[in-house]
Structure 1
Amino acid sequence: MAEFSKSAVTKETGIRHFFAAAGYSWGGFQRLLQESAFRQELLFAAAGLILLAVVGATLAEIMIAVVLFLGVFAIEAMNTAVEEVIDRISPEISNVGKHAKDLGSFAVLCMLVASGLYLLYTIASHLLFL
């Protein structure tokens, strides 16, 4: 059997772990802000939430939209992570790398469509009194 060496990274525990994780999350957010797709998704979310408020959406409807947008952001973060790893381990063009990136992009698209459909339905239901 192969022996595995211990991680070079020391894991924090307790409250230190909480603050370390918060720092890693902040770093991830800062990295994601460098992606134009994420910045566009932030604008989409802000515009959607403003529209929901303007048409008089309920708090529950707005919270559902927030959860959907957080899903978009989370999947965009994972997609960016996949792209970073593929670019690092496989700088040459490969079908496997292309497929991984395409699948991540498709996951983001699915969440964007779900969010968009929810916004359209909710806004239309308030404007048309459905």
Structure 2
Amino acid sequence: MSYSRPHARKKGLPRIVSAFRNSCNGFVAVWEEPAFRQEVLLAAVLVPAACFVGRSWLEVCVLIGMVVFVLVTEILNSAVEAVVDRVGPEWHALSKSAKDMGSAAVLLALCLCGLTWAWALYERFLA
């Protein structure tokens, strides 16, 4: 069996190290996206705030999880955009649909995060 990916032949610790390096490269690549940097800044505020807003460890985990969910969704959206751009620069309806769907996923994640945080803030300070 021939592999086009050199790291696919690795096993054990070398495979784990290679996968970790690839993940770090992914973070470096996504850092070029302005939306991701904005969401990281928001996360830098919201993650510590979750410790004060959440009334239990479960609420803190949910609040932090919502922020991480937004970041993960943005990373996946950026990956879709990169693949679409790699295929070709010309306009195509399917390329537009793929990018729009990725954007819609980010919007849903942001709305879910916002509603979760709004609920937690209401419960903590107004209820």
- TM-score, normalising length: structure 1: 0.86
Q: 1:63 to 1:55 in 2, by over 3 A?
A: closer
Distance 1:77 1:35 in 2: 9
Gaps of 5+ in 1: none
Divergent runs of 4+, >4 A: none
Over the aligned positions, Cα root-mean-square deviation in angstroms equals 1.7
The structure where helix makes up a greater share of residues is 2
Instruction: After superposition, give the CA deviation of every residue in 1:16-62 in whole Å (9 maximum; x if it has no partner).
Output: 11111111111111111111100111122222234333446432212
Match of 2:97 in 1: 99
Q: Which has the higher contact order (CA 8 A, sep 6+)?
A: 1
- TM-score, normalising length: structure 2: 0.88
> In the alignment, is the contact (CA less than 8 A) between 1:90 and 1:97 conserved in 2?
no
> In the alignment, is the contact (CA less than 8 A) between 2:50 and 2:64 conserved in 1?
no
Q: Following superposition of structure 1 onto structure 2, how do residues 20-99 of structure 1 map, counting pairs within 5 Å?
A: 20-55=18-53, 57-99=55-97
What's the CA shift for 1:7?
2.7
Match of 1:8 in 2: 4
Gaps of 5+ in 2: none
Distance 2:53 2:87 in 1: 48
Distance 2:109 2:2 in 1: 38
Count of residue correspondences: 125
> In the alignment, is the contact (CA less than 8 A) between 1:79 and 1:104 conserved in 2?
yes
